[in-house]
A and B are shown apart, each in its own frame.
Chain A
Amino acid sequence: MDLVKMAKGEEEQQGKWGMIIDQDLCTGCQACVTACAMENNISYVGEDDAAYGRSMHWIRIERFWEGSYPDVKATSFQPVGCQQCGKAPCEPVCPVMATQHSEAEQINLQVYNRCIGTRYCANNCPYQARTFNWRDWERPSPLDNQLNPDVTVRRRGVMEKCTFCIQRIQRVEDVAKSEGREIFDGEVTPACAQACPADAIVFGRLDDPESRVSKLTKSSRNTIMLEDLGTLPRVSFLVGGANHD
């Protein structure tokens, strides 16, 4: 690896996969949250634990409002998941290297088998995107029959987070490789983007300037969450419509 390049952060800045979320289109319907939970075998924690801040969703819809009733002004919904930082604060703090940067996919992955559950990564994540398996929650029948065979089922004491549906990326990469071609834009769709009825979530390759996601990042509405921290996220947001001033 070119150390000079690494020190300058050029490699991290480029990125491979990226996502853009249009907050002006988001209706807050939570379809992405549900789809993500089903695709990635996320536990259903029940009301009490969810109310106590233990929901396991890899993507959440944040909603805010200004003022108090009856003069309430709602701002746009904000779906937040892992921002797949190029310089991720969660990565260096793990004592057993369970939080890894995938060199091939340029995203941020959690090695469940290696995780011992110190939860340091979650403390250091400025986006609070990581979720911890506080218990072994039950999967009442027939939910146990809908587990995705492509995704590991995590046990208690393990940290987890959004993977950009790495299993889907891998499958498409395999198909493209066997057919001897490049992946075309829109071929990989994570569960959240697939489920979004408003088409507010766009996923694709950042290293391809012609891809839809690359073009959208050039929009004047493009914003990066907590940009001042210098984490170089692969997820950005489009904000600035009538909902927002």
Chain B
Amino acid sequence: MTEMTSSLPHAGQHQEDLRVEHLMLDPKPRGEMNAMVMDSMLTTSWKFWVISIFLSLVTAICLFGAWGYLIANGMGVAGINRPAYWGIFIVNTVFWIGISHAGTFVSALLRVFKAEFRRPFTRAAELMTTFGLVQAGLSIFFHVGRVWLAYWMFPFPNQRGLWPSFHSPLEWDFLAINTYLLASTMYLFLPLIPDVAMARDRSTGWRKPLYRILALGFRGTEGEWTHLRTAMNIFAFAILPVMFSVHTIVSWDFAAAMRPGWSSTIFGPYFVVGALHSGVAAVAMVLVVIRATMKNMKYFLRPEHFDAIGKLMLIISMAWAYFYFNDYIVQWYGGDKWTKILMDFQEGGPMNSIWFTMLICNIVIPWMFLWNKKVRRTPWAMFVIGLFINIGMWCERFVIIPMSLTINRMPFTWRMYKPGIEVPLGIGTLAFFILLYMIASRLIPLVPVWEVQEGQMAHSLRKFGKETVVTVSDLE
């Protein structure tokens, strides 16, 4: 009996452990937390400026410079040819749309299901959605042969009565991405209002009018909160089907076409899971960087959060593997001659290293390491695993698009694809994404303070007999 009680941690010590472990059980006074977030936003070191100037240069040269060159000279400066009419531009488009999925997934889905660990990083994830979609949109525009006429895809009234074709999966895709961009921007903005109002009350100079405009006169009255909560609730539920539909529709660009390797009925959910795979991994990477570089972030982002994201990554990796092999085995079992040639080409052709990289990065690495709680709780390890998953998912899109296009039903036209100006433009979109994120991290509160405070108010420690128990009250 005495032994048992001594093995139990001391009640006070246990409580202290819980406080260190969980952000929700480690409350700080409102004023202090507001000051911490403001501080993290206003503190910039010389490194920040050096990196942002470097990224601006990369964006200017690799993205806008190279794009201008591409427009002036035609698609011939890219590596696409017959039969690989679509190349890395579309790979990057699908990749960035995938990245953008995590924002909504983490924020809306976890909000709807009231997963408490989401609270400190919903905004960081939502920002990824918006900025990822910007890069996806740019990548589509790189791809279009006459980009100056791309607005013809909008159904606008005109004298000649010309309309876009609603038969085309590309048109569905275009409309879906636009819907998603609008919806996700609004969804980013709504939970931002209380935080911007907080920033308005605590800033001076040029920031003051900026935040005053963004806060829309929010004062935090009970009525305003009720309206805001209703709006956020509607959006959280409404944006989920939009999110799932966007990547399903992206997959229809391929699945609706009659090509070996593309014509597959499982592409919809398979693409959604793939998007979440890269997206959640990218959220982990961003959080590691934010935690390491921004002030006060170690308070908000704790090992418990990486732990939770790591579990999510592992589950999604398993789901991805299921869908991949489901697609693969059904195609193989179908016994179509051209599909078989295509599969042989993917596994044993000159570009098969990309196929193997995909499997190793998407399945082997997450399965090997994410079982381990220690790994999940180590930020740098999560960064490395996230990086591998993103490389793997990029390779997956490469396998689906240019590699599958290389093989078609006319063997005379088979030709290898060698990227040209796609490479600088891809680097440019990456630099632009990081640059936008860096600018945003100094302009808007990256941690939703009100959401963290709300969570901390809802959580409390109670004693049941001798045991300390965490309880959560339902505020919403």
A interface residues with partner B (beta carbon < 8 Å) = 49, 52-54, 60, 62-64, 78, 80, 89, 92-97, 114-120, 122-124, 126-128, 131-136, 156-159, 226, 229
Beyond known contacts A93-B167, A95-B153: 9 more, CB 8 A cutoff? A89-B257, A95-B174, A97-B164, A118-B143, A123-B405, A126-B408, A134-B76, A156-B74, A157-B146
Q: Are A124 and B258 in contact (CB under 8 A)?
A: yes
Number of interface residues, chain B, beta carbon within 8 A: 45
Pairs across A and B, CB under 8 Å, 9 listed: A78-B412, A95-B164, A97-B164, A116-B147, A117-B144, A123-B85, A128-B408, A128-B409, A134-B76
Nearest Cβ in chain B — how far from A206, in angstroms?
A: 24
Cβ contact of B75, chosen from A89, A120, A156, cutoff 8 A: A156
| A94, A96, A132, A229 pick with most chain B CB within 10 angstroms | A96
In the assembled complex, the CB of A7 is this many whole angstroms from the nearest CB of chain B, namely 15
Chain B interfacial positions (CB closer than 8 Å to A): 73-77, 80-86, 143-147, 149-150, 152-153, 162-165, 167-171, 174, 253, 256-259, 405, 408-413, 415, 418
Q: Which residue of B lies closest to A60 (CB)?
A: B412
Number of A-B residue pairs at CB separation under 8 A: 139
Q: Which A residues are CB-close (under 8 A) to B411?
A: 64
B interface, over-half SS: loop
- B152–A93 CB distance below 8 A: no
- The reply to whether B145 and A115 form a contact with Cβ atoms under 8 Å apart is yes
**In the complex, which residues of chain A have a beta carbon less than 8 angstroms from the beta carbon of B415?**
52-53
Contacts of A49 in B (CB 8 A): 76
Contacts of A119 in B (CB 8 A): 80, 85-86, 145
Pick the residue among A92, A122, A134, A135 that contacts B168 (CB under 8 A). Answer: A92
**A9 CB → nearest B CB, Å:** 16
Q: A80-B412, A118-B145 are in contact. Are A132 and B165 (CB under 8 A)?
A: no
Contact at B257–A128, with CB atoms within 8 Å? no
A80 to B150, CA, bound (A): 31
Other-chain contact of B82, A78, A126, A128, A136 (Cβ < 8 Å): A128
A131–B82 touching, CB < 8 Å: yes
A128 touches B74 (CB 8 A): no
Interface core residue of B82, B84, B146, B162 (most chain A CB under 10 Å): B82
Chain A residues whose C-beta falls within 8 Å of the C-beta of B84 in the assembled complex: 53
